[in-house]
Structure 1
Amino acid sequence: MSDQVGDERAVESTRRRLTKRQADTVRGLTDVAVEELREVGYAGLTIRGVAARQGVAPATVYAYFSSKNHLVTEIFWRRLRELPETATAGSPVERVVRALRDIASLVSAEPELAAACTAAMLGDDPDVRYLRERIGLEWRRRLGAALGSAARPEVLPALEISLGGALLHAGLGYGSYDRMADLLESSARLIVR
């Protein structure tokens, strides 16, 4: 066990615990997958293309990711986990707005990644389902911390639905990812007040 990395974020993987070397491999694969997405979009993204860009065999990618949906969902999960905690100053609505804007920022600057995340997270692959649950729990944790303990119990699920709906709305092409943060702020102000 001495070759295991101590930091949970570095070793966290859907499929198994990772050594430092394996964690570096996964980090490299997720980084090149983002580059590949920028160039070819979600429809053109393949495990074979990611492997070629990284200079490894496709079997190496499949050792860590069961599908391209799993790979893309892992990218979103890792970025979500890397977000700094939302500041605790301000009113509950101000804190919630900051938390929602932080989450929206994960995808708003990179429309190809955003579209890929929306499509990938709807997949039924068991590894995607597992990550989707983790993502939902992280959203709940962040939004719950921003709300504080005095919030009515129905407020948190309403915010979660608003966030998920905003991602889906933009992913379906009904709005832009850039505009999503503003729409989430409006929704949060209605829900939290």
Structure 2
Amino acid sequence: MNLEATRRRLTEKQADTVDRLTRAALEVLSREGFAGLTVRMVASAAGVGTATAYTYFSSKEHVVAEVFWRRLAAAPEPPQDGDRTTRAVAVLRQIAMLVADEPALAGAVTSALLGTDPDAAHLRLRIGAEIRRRLLLALGPDPDLDIVETLELLYAGALVRAGVGYVSYVEIADRLEKSARQVLPG
């Protein structure tokens, strides 16, 4: 899977810089929260200049969206055993649990992906396409696209609910499973 940053193709050295920046973003986020996070702080924590950080990331929303994208892209493909409902539920649970243990990151991802930064918006589309790909794979040949869209609406709404703190990500994963089982025939 392509893990290049959204703004440019990367050399090995540049990829290392982006990795350091995304790791530093997690450190700053856990300390300062999303409201306090700045690209300048991330650059400082990564040991790079602010201008260098802005070469790769247009905003704090872009950095956080990149962190989530990398987590999703690195997540293993869900198992292909079991029936299609079990496989689809596994996809939804995996997505919900990507940030379950990190409340600061979870809330930040919600804010970042709902924001208007064009680079974060680009990642939002990539994330949506990857989740759709995984759902299609789980549902098998000739899936009902209305069901796919309904499952996408379920996870999007569920992640927003969890991201704003109404329920935990573990609870939302359980709720997603229940809802998906109601939507999927059989």
Q: CA deviation at 1:128?
A: 1.1
Runs of 5+ in structure 2 lacking a partner?
A: none
Is the 1:109–1:178 Cα contact (8 Å) retained in structure 2? no
Whether 2:173 is the aligned partner of 1:181: answer: yes
Mapped to 1, the partners of 2:34 and 2:68 lie a distance apart of 14
Q: CA deviation at 1:55?
A: 1.6
Q: CA deviation at 1:94?
A: 0.6
Whether 2:133 is the aligned partner of 1:161: answer: no
Q: 1:27-38, aligned counterparts within 5 Å?
A: 27-38=19-30
Mapped to 2, the partners of 1:111 and 1:192 lie a distance apart of 30
Of 159-168 and 34-43, more deviation after overlay is shown by 34-43
Q: CA deviation at 1:132?
A: 0.6
Mapped to 1, the partners of 2:33 and 2:169 lie a distance apart of 15
The 3-state SS of whatever aligns with 1:107 is coil
Q: 1:34 is matched by which residue type in structure 2?
A: L
Is the 1:159–1:188 Cα contact (8 Å) retained in structure 2? yes
Residue 54 of structure 1: which of 40, 46, 62 is its match?
A: 46
Mapped to 2, the partners of 1:8 and 1:185 lie a distance apart of 29
Mapped to 2, the partners of 1:77 and 1:162 lie a distance apart of 19
Q: 1:43-192, aligned counterparts within 5 Å?
A: 43-192=35-184
Match of 1:8 in 2: 2
Mapped to 1, the partners of 2:156 and 2:109 lie a distance apart of 12
Identical residues among aligned pairs (%) = 52
The 3-state SS of whatever aligns with 1:74 is helix
The 3-state SS of whatever aligns with 2:99 is helix
Runs of 5+ in structure 1 lacking a partner?
A: 1-6
Greater RCO structure (CA 8 Å; 6+ sep): 2
Q: CA deviation at 1:154?
A: 1.1
Mapped to 1, the partners of 2:40 and 2:142 lie a distance apart of 50
Q: 2:108 is matched by which residue type in structure 1?
A: A
Mapped to 2, the partners of 1:66 and 1:137 lie a distance apart of 22
Mapped to 2, the partners of 1:183 and 1:8 lie a distance apart of 31
The TM-score, its normalising length taken from structure 2, stands at 0.95
The 3-state SS of whatever aligns with 1:48 is helix
Is the 1:76–1:117 Cα contact (8 Å) retained in structure 2? yes
The TM-score, its normalising length taken from structure 1, stands at 0.92
Mapped to 2, the partners of 1:120 and 1:114 lie a distance apart of 10
Mapped to 1, the partners of 2:14 and 2:145 lie a distance apart of 41
Match of 2:14 in 1: 22
What is the root-mean-square deviation of aligned Cα atoms in Å? 1.2
1:111-137 CA distances to partner (integer Å, 9 max, x unpaired)?
Answer: 110000000001111111111110110
Is the 1:101–1:185 Cα contact (8 Å) retained in structure 2? yes
Q: CA deviation at 1:150?
A: 4.4
Is the 1:46–1:68 Cα contact (8 Å) retained in structure 2? yes
